[in-house]
């Protein structure tokens, strides 16, 4: 079975580097544009409801509702930046482990 890096490289080779970079930008942009106030409100409401249900059914969840909501709020703040600035920041400053 191919690893993900090989699959991604094959997609880039099939479409070409310029189109590939534009597609990544589009993918991130679509995510940013869908981070609407309604999405945020609905997501937080769903997280809190699932957290309460989890506490009733199985005790204390591993990840708190507050932490999950903070992920959404952080994404909202990051959405204010250019996608290319974010990509640059990730490239230079975010360590990503394959494991």
Q: According to the model, what pLDDT value does residue 40 have?
A: 92
pLDDT at 42: 93
Chain segment 72-86, per-residue pLDDT in tens: 999 999 989 888 899
What pLDDT score was predicted for residue 2? 67
Nearest to 46 by CA among 70, 67, 65: 65
For the chain, the straight-line distance linking the first and the last C-alpha, in angstroms and rounded, comes to: 17
**Residue 47 near residue 69 (C-beta atoms within 8 A):** yes
Please tell me the predicted confidence (pLDDT) of residue 1.
55
* Contacting residues for 73 by C-beta, under 8 A, at least 6 apart: 40
Cα(97)–Cα(99) distance, rounded to whole angstroms? 5
The string of pLDDT tens digits covering residues 4-57 is 778 889 999 999 998 888 888 888 889 888 899 999 999 999 999 988 887 777
With 70 as the cut, is the pLDDT of residue 64 above it?
yes
Per DSSP (E only), the strands in the chain are none
Minimal CA–CA distance to 27: which of 93, 87, 68? Answer: 87
């Amino acid at each position: 079975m191919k690893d993900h890096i090989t699959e991604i490289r094959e997609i880039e080779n099939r479409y070409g580097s310029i189109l590939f970079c534009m597609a990544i930008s589009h993918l991130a942009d679509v995510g940013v544009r869908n981070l609407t106030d309604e999405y945020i409100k609905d997501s937080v409401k769903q997280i809190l409801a699932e957290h309460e249900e989890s506490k009733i059914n199985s005790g204390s969840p591993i990840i708190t509702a507050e932490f999950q909501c903070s992920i959404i709020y952080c994404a909202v703040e990051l959405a204010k930046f250019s996608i290319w600035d974010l990509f640059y920041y990730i490239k230079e400053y975010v360590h990503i482990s394959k494991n």
